[in-house]
Structure 1
Amino acid sequence: MNTKQTTTSFALLKRSTRVFFMAMLITGNISYAQSKKETVDKIVKEATENSQLENLAHELLDVVGPRLVGSPLMKQANDWAVAKYATWGITAKNEQWGEWRGWERGISHIDMVYPRIKSLEGTQLAWSPSTKGKAVVGELVIYPDLPDSVSFKSWLPSVKGKFVMFSMNQPTGRPDYNWQEFATPESFEKMKSNRTKQTDAWRSRISKTGLNLKALALAFESAGALGVVTSNWSSGFGVNKIFGANTTKIPSIDISLEDYGLLYRLTESGHKPKISVNVGSKELGMVPAFNTIAEIKGAEKPNEYVILSAHFDSWDGGTGATDNGTGTITMMEAIRILKKIYPNPKRTILVGHWGSEEQGLNGSRAFVEDHPEIVKNIQVVFNQDNGTGRVVNLGGQGFLNAYAYLGRWLSMVPEDIKKQIATTFPGTPGSGGSDFASFVAAGAPAFSLSSNSWSYGTYTWHTNRDTYDKVVFDDVRSNAILTAILAYMASEDPETTSKAKSVLPINVRTGEPGSWPQPVKATRKGGVN
């Protein structure tokens, strides 16, 4: 063979080899994509045809109920989750991160007994002292508009032996949207103007005491009041925010807008109404507080982590259905599906059910402090915590390259779910609000799966109406599918996620460049002064 023939043959061989490898690469990519799609299709099928969401919600919200940190029901929820995971073949454990003031709610009776008999809609606030097994009956008094703190101190002894009302009497129990629908424009504007004036006057009334609301409640207690009565209306029909008590010796009760208004008007008109309050609760001393952690061990990269995140605790005015029962069951359902469809993930998949989020992200902050070996090897954290709605927003939390890997993973999400999600990159790092912020502060790529509203802020966030019936299961099912697919893609991704941070914009208030949030230490011993 001559030189020209040799050169030609070599070129043909080289070209054939290149074509062969290109064909193999294309075939491999197609095969890889097909494999991914098959798994995604199985995830969707399992979530759609064998959903466990309704059952999980019933067991958690109806049977266990609200999950106030330090309460027996919180510990019952921790144990329930561990047992539930075991039925799916998933390892889970309760990991103590601190201790909290233990308190157990009891039976409450709140009734008007004069000038007529009426049972009142009311709630003993969390950690409120009890009435020690007996009814306490007394007249009501409204905190008056006094000129200054000196006048307040002179008036204060008059509360002895009485229940003190110190919330503003709302002028209407109709939410604004109801006024907009039916009122004349003039009537609506008149109501809003009067309400603003009344609100400003009430704030001025409080500020002239020189005390904040907590100190004011304690001042009434010290002066011998029988109890404090508030109404923390949430601007919707029949809904109040329910938080914790500020008193340490006398009961704190919240009464519905409708019944509070009745008592207020009767007191204001000189009819001297009396109420009977019998609230049972138990102080349990300091009790251990836990996170519940579930795990599917990674087969190839067991020391790298995909974390599904949702806080487990709640306030206890309702049953914590949308804050954060829905986030909890989303993550439980997602990992249940993954265990069935994808039992041998490349990376370890964890679910973190955090305690005491409501008092300052304490469970997740403690986990970050206690597990630096996990935090430094986090592939991603997905957190869900703002209600029952389908996910509609995903921001980059300030991570410079988040668009690249989140974009890859989202590409496999079904179009009917993906098209509803607005993305913002690189975004800015969240410094609070929910548990993803604990991880962001530590430099781990953590993201909030943010839901649409369903009137969350008014009707279910920390309210007496946050119950099972408010869950929209079609939306939660969509979120479980999304979460499972994102976790699967994150686990499979051959690349480790970038933790590079973007340069934050100038703070308009200070004129200085924005700074990354810093880790905050968990409160390890809570509910005590």
Structure 2
Amino acid sequence: MKKRYLLGMGLMLFLGIQAQAQDPVIENIIKEARENSQLKDLGHELLDGIGPRLVGTPQMQQAHDWAVEKYQSWGIEARNEQWGEWRGWDRGITHIDMVEPWVRSLSGMQLAWSPSSPEGGAQGEVIVLPDLADAATFQTWLPNAKGKYVMISTPQMTGRPDYNWEEWATEESFERMKEERAEFERAWNQRLQKTGLGRRELPQALEDAGALGIITSYWSRGFGANKIFSAMTKKVPTVDLSLEDYGMLFRLADSGKKPMIHLNAQSKETGVQPTFNTIAEIKGTEKPDEYVMLSAHFDSWDGGTGATDNGTGTILMMEVMRILKEVYPNPKRTILVGHWGSEEQGLNGSRAFVEDHPEIVANLQALFNQDNGTGRVANLSGQGFVDSYEYLGRWLSKVPREITRDIETTFPGNPGGGGSDYASFVAAKAPAFNLSSLSWSYYNYTWHTNLDTYDKIVFDDVQNNAILAAIMVYMACEEPEMVSKELRIPLGRNGEPTDWPTPRSPTRKGGMD
């Protein structure tokens, strides 16, 4: 009986130690994230309710104001900090109809900052950029573009992605297609080079010659996906057509069928607009002048609604702040979140913050950035900080194993020189880390495409990322001392030391050249 009693007491003591070992804040972070998630509502309000967030547009300003209001409703201080100005532009409708040789509404949209069509649109023949001998011949030809819509992109030989060919084609057929495609693309590039003009100058030369508009197609190597970037024209619209419709128009024009389209692309210039970062803050109680930061860019391109680039990073960081305010309202260090503007044009918002707030950067304990899509975090690099393995490893050990088991780490790693906003802080020698995600076909299907929409979000993965980021922030706040900022000078491909990235100033007046 005595032996059984001692065994029972030992088990109770063991369980008691285990219970003490379970940090109640971490338990509450996990519980709040899983039982009271606001991610779907945040995603709906931002992506469906406001839409894409191109810098300088009304939607970008609406998003900044919405985020401040949302934070304040959670009892979190928030503000919009102006860091520059940008060309203001408001997207309108894009309606494209082929009217000859038969009638069909085409799938396409005007590129960002595109000039508009005349009121009600304009009808004209579609022609293909000709293959001419040299730049002088091209200049002689240019008057032929007057009153025409000119196609300047490479038509695709196949609308099937390579993975579809790999699944169904014979090996010989697949290889032949790739060889023919490479040769066709080479020939088209030569055609462009023989105009004597670059990517920016060619559309402007055509509009100066009186073209009605420019037609492009930037296929993203996935079914139905096109990348939507910015127009180079200043006076006439530039529209991007789907691979399928661009190919049809190209073949008709190339074979002498003289297709006609009616294009009505309406947009509005809105003058110079202020640009902002949205900053939210939970003040530290013991070390308020030391900081742990969350980071995600707020802006997007506007082919879709910017769901995975970077709506998911945005709602992730908002959710982390909400959770921490609920379960850890009095952190030892100050917790900041930066929702950056104009990342897509060169990390401008985060570079401005680094430049404008050296006192925060100097006292930064750690920054966690998320950008590349909806997937669960799969990679974490130490960014060249010598002791990052020690503290990041300890913090990660507190995250549930089912979340961290597939994360690949690289320590100390090399400093990121660009790609997302953490690099702005790394260049300033502040410990900033990128929570890099699984692909979920990000590059082909959602990165800067017309398909980057709410339905592509994998909320289970984003929820796991919220738990991970919230625990990492909590652990960084609780760390007794500031972490080491000792650097490992990166090595180049030849094994020789290279330079640490250099901080770069932002573009504070954009799109107005």
Q: TM-score, normalised by structure 2?
A: 0.96
Counterpart residue type for residue 501 of structure 2? P
Q: Deviations over 1:209-258 (max 9, x none)?
A: 22111111111011110000000000000110000000000000000000
Residues 32/157 of structure 1: CA separation in 2 closer, same or farther (3 Å cut): farther
Partner Cα separation in structure 1 for residue 145 and residue 356 of structure 2: 48
Checking the alignment, whether the CA contact within 8 Å between 2:489 and 2:500 is kept in structure 1 is no
User: How far apart, in 1, do the equivalents of 2:375 and 2:362 lie?
Assistant: 32
Q: Deviations over 1:80-139 (max 9, x none)?
A: 000111111111000100000000001111111111111000011000001132211000
Residue 77 to residue 501, structure 1, CA distance change in 2 (3 Å) = same
Asked if residue 519 in structure 1 is aligned to residue 509 in structure 2, the reply is no
Picking from 477, 486, 503, the partner of 1:500 is 486
Partner Cα separation in structure 2 for residue 95 and residue 480 of structure 1: 25
Paired residue type of 2:103: I
Aligned to 2:95: 109
Aligned pair partner of 2:341 in 352, 355, 365: 355
Which amino acid counterpart does residue 377 of structure 1 have in structure 2?
Answer: N
Q: Give me the whole-angstrom Cα distance separating, in 2, the residues matched to 1:473 and 1:310.
A: 17
2:115 aligned partner: 129
One-letter code aligned to 1:278 = N
Which of structures 1 and 2 has the bigger CA Rg? Answer: 1
Deviates more, 1:180-189 or 1:474-483: 180-189
SS in 1 for 2:207: helix
Once the 2 structures are TM-superposed, how far is the Cα of residue 507 of structure 1 from its aligned partner? Answer: 4.8
Mapping of 1:23-102 within 5 angstroms? 34=20, 37-102=23-88
Q: Where does residue 408 of structure 1 map in the other structure?
A: 394
Equivalence for 1:242: 228
Structure 1 residue 304, shift from structure 2 partner: 0.5
Could you report, residue by residue, the CA deviation over 1:256-302 in whole angstroms, capped at 9, with x for unpaired residues? 00000110011011110011111111101100000000000000000
Matched, 1:327 2:313: yes
Q: How does 1:143-158 map to 2 (within 5 A)?
A: 143-158=129-144
Instruction: Give SS of 1:365's match.
Output: helix
CA distance in 2, matches of 1:209, 1:474: 50
User: Residues of 1 paired with 2:217 and 2:304: CA distance?
Assistant: 16
User: Any idea what the Cα deviations from partners look like across 1:343-402, whole Å, max 9, x if unmatched?
Assistant: 000000001000000000000000000001111000001000000000000001011111
**Cα distance between partner residues in 1 of 2:292 and 2:135:** 55
In structure 2, the gaps of 5 or more residues are: 1-12
- Equivalent-residue separation in structure 2 for 1:130 and 1:297 (angstroms): 47
Per the alignment, do residues 524 and 55 of structure 1 end up closer, same or farther by CA in structure 2, a change over 3 Å counting?
same
Matched, 1:222 2:208: yes
**Given the superposition, is the C-alpha separation of residues 399 and 32 from structure 1 closer, same or farther in structure 2, using an over 3 Å criterion?**
farther
Task: Provide the alpha-carbon RMSD of the alignment.
Answer: 1.4
| Counterpart Cα distance in 2 of 1:235 and 1:447 | 30
Question: What SS does the aligned partner of 1:213 have?
Answer: coil
Q: How does 1:203-352 map to 2 (within 5 A)?
A: 203-352=189-338
Alignment of 1:407-426 (within 5 A): 407-426=393-412
Amino acid of the structure 1 residue aligned with 2:508: R
Identity of aligned pairs, percent? 66
**What is aligned with 2:456?**
470
5+ residue gaps, structure 1, are 1-26
TM-score normalised per structure 1? 0.93
Counterpart code for 1:518: T
Cα deviations across residues 509-529 of structure 1 (Å, max 9, x unaligned)?
xx8521000000000000011
Q: Is the 8 A contact 2:342 2:348 kept in 1?
A: yes
- Structure 1 SS opposite 2:346: coil
Q: Secondary structure at the match of 2:200?
A: helix
Q: Which residue of 2 aligns with 1:12?
A: none
Give the whole-Å Cα distance in 2 for the aligned partners of 1:371 and 1:53.
30
Amino acid at match of 1:80: W
> Of 185, 199, 210, which residue of structure 1 is paired with 2:171?
185
Separation of aligned partners in 2, 1:145 and 1:227: 19
- Measured in 2, the distance between the counterparts of 1:127 and 1:64 equals 19
| Structure 1 residue ranges, 4+ long, deviating more than 2 angstroms after superposition | 30-37
Corresponding residue number in structure 1 for 2:426: 440
Q: Select 1:194's aligned residue among 175, 180, 184.
A: 180
* Alpha-carbon distance in 2 for matches of 1:34, 1:379: 27
Between the aligned partners of 2:19 and 2:201, the Cα distance in structure 1 is 62
Aligned amino acid, residue 487 of structure 1: V
Q: 3-state DSSP class of the match of 1:429?
A: coil
Corresponding letter in the other structure for 1:384: Q
Find the aligned partners of 1:465 and 1:527 in 2 and give their Cα distance. Answer: 25
1:108 and 1:205 map into 2 onto residues whose CA distance is: 29
- Cα distance, 1:506 vs. partner? 3.9
Which is further off, 495-504 or 156-165? 495-504
Q: Structure 1 residues 350 and 32 mapped into 2: Cα distance closer, same or farther (>3 Å)?
A: farther
Task: State whether structure 2 residue 365 is matched by structure 1 residue 379.
Answer: yes
Q: Deviations over 1:419-477 (max 9, x none)?
A: 11110001000010000000000010000000010000000000000000000000000
> Which amino acid is 1:169 matched to?
P
* One-letter amino acid matched to 1:54: K
Question: Whole-Å Cα distance in 2 between the matches of residues 33 and 429 of structure 1?
Answer: 39
Q: Distance in 1 between matches of 2:173 and 2:405?
A: 41
